[in-house]
Amino acid sequence: MVLFICVSLLSYGQSQPKVGDKLMVKAPSAQFYNHISFPQLNILVKRGKTSSYKPVIGSQVVVADVVSDDNNENYVVLKKEDGTKFFGLYATVKANYKKALQAGELVLVTN
């Protein structure tokens, strides 16, 4: 029983984002990102940018802020580790932390 509680607490602690956590953006499982608030491709084309998500795939990002909503969902504000903007337009993006990890859109980077 005690072992189960310890394992549960450890897994719960790892699923909670912290400011400064490093993540990597992976390719979306579908045509678009469902849990990271990247703009739709047509918006990028209208702004004269690329018509794909290739520039952000593999990018190292850092959790800049953690926000919880009324439903106890954790959202993280992400910024690129190198300080550049996403698609040359956005300094930060918002993501549903738990769902993005489960969908494989984000992956924790171990130091």
Question: Where do the domains of the chain lie, and which CATH numbers do they carry?
Answer: 18-108 (2.30.30)
What is residue 5's three-state secondary structure?
A: helix
Q: Please report where in the chains the tokens 């579908």 appear, as a residue.
A: 30
Task: State residue 111's pLDDT score.
Answer: 66
Give the pLDDT band of residue 14 (cuts 50, 70, 90).
low
Higher pLDDT, 39 or 11: 39
